[in-house]
Chain A
Amino acid sequence: MNRRLRRRHLAAWLIIGPAAAAVLIAGVLLQRSKARAAERPPAAWGARP
């Protein structure tokens, strides 16, 4: 691999790495909030939220 290609690889991963990590974290947070909502007991009729 020549130097230009090596730098291109590094640049690609410096962009894709954080992007992949960000979308993964967003997905996990979303899943956890859904899981919490599913565990919450349903509100009784007429009860204030």
Chain B
Amino acid sequence: MSHGYRAVQWSRPKRVYDAWAAVGAAAFIGGYVVVGKALHGGERAISDEILFMRATGACALLLLHVILCIGPAARFVPRLQAVLFNRRHLGVLTFLVALAHGVVAVGYYHGFGVVGPLESLLTMNTRYGSLDGFPFQVLGLVGLVVLFVMAATSHDFWLKNLSGAAWKRLHMLVYPAYGLLVGHVALGALQEERTALAPALLGAGVAIVVGLHVAAAVREVRRDRGAAPADGDGEAGPWIDAGEAGSIPEDRARTVCAPGGERIAIYRHNGRLSAVTNVCAHQGGPLGEGRVIDGCITCPWHGWQYRAADGCAPPPFTEKVAMYRVRIVAGRAQVRATPCEPGRAPPPAMLEDGHGR
């Protein structure tokens, strides 16, 4: 979390994460080239440039699959949220590897003509009406441009200046870019394959990415439909039943769904219950899946923090999230469906025995 523009603050965990990612990508590319050379010897030999092109292309596509799987997979396996923390670093690495692939490909196939490489790429083949011989390189170019825009705007500086909603919309372009890159591979490199391995791998990748996203989304829609029953006795919206108050673990939350579909996270800290919106002000992360660290509710996605007492980020940060009134009736927690103004702290509900244990 940052309150002004600063270059990426390289903490030790970030350095370790980036080092592992870079070493992994380099090992993949090196291994691909070595194995490729061993498999394609003699008459079937492939030039070094083409092998490098294939290796970087495969590496970038694999990284893109990993990036796209992390989000929905973390919905099912919370431990994966640790990988989600620096997902943008993986995105930048993916762009760099894809750029290396693109530069070598354009130089190799379009770098020796009378027109410029980019002009050659865009004008040499214009058979857009035919699947056979489709200009697949253009699909890759558009995908690469999207990856560049995302890598260039990945810093929180852009998130803050573009606004969260605009930034999120911009970064959702990775989904159509993924479709374009699948088309780039299916109509390009796949056409040179003579075995079923590459089509099977790409098919499995598409099935996993799409299946995970749809499964996670359907699960969330089901949770939305299972909104807690409301008790309409209040002027500021109904009270929502949130289950037994004492069973919420210390420094953790229980998430309930308001009748309008928005989610509320009810946290227990120092024997008190307080309720905040489930949507982090940073990137909309699920606050209810985080925990209280140093008295602050900590988002599991990127570690943004808000005081459990008033929903405000600790100084010098200025972000606020909306809180909800919460009460305990006959041992059950109840939360108001209508949020308070961000920064306004309703009184917490006290568990009867102090810590409710």
Chain A residues in the interface with B (C-beta under 8 A):
1-3, 5-10, 12-14, 16-17, 19-21, 23-24, 26-28, 30-31, 34-35
- Would you call the interface of chain A mostly helix, strand, loop, or mixed? helix
Kindly identify which residue among B179, B191, B210 contacts A34, using a CB–CB cutoff of 8 Å. Answer: B191
What are 8 A-B residue pairs whose CB atoms fall within 8 Å in the complex? A1-B285, A8-B172, A17-B214, A24-B206, A27-B186, A27-B190, A27-B191, A28-B186
Give the number of residue pairs across the A-B interface with Cβ within 8 Å: 90
With contacts A23-B182, A27-B191, A31-B190 known, is A17 near B284, CB below 8 A? no
- What 8 pairs between A and B have smallest CB-CB spacing? A27-B186, A17-B210, A10-B217, A3-B261, A1-B284, A13-B213, A23-B183, A20-B182
Kindly identify which residue among B179, B199, B213 contacts A23, using a CB–CB cutoff of 8 Å. Answer: B179
- Would you call the interface of chain B mostly helix, strand, loop, or mixed? helix
Number of residues from B at the complex interface, CB < 8 A: 37
Q: Report A-chain residues with C-beta under 8 Å of the C-beta of B178.
A: 16, 20
Contact B190 A26 (CB under 8 A): no
CB distance from B320 to the nearest CB of A (A): 16
Q: Report B-chain residues with C-beta under 8 Å of the C-beta of A5.
A: 168, 284
Contact B186 A16 (CB under 8 A): no
Q: Does B294 contact A (CB under 8 A)?
A: no
Q: Report A-chain residues with C-beta under 8 Å of the C-beta of B262.
A: 2-3
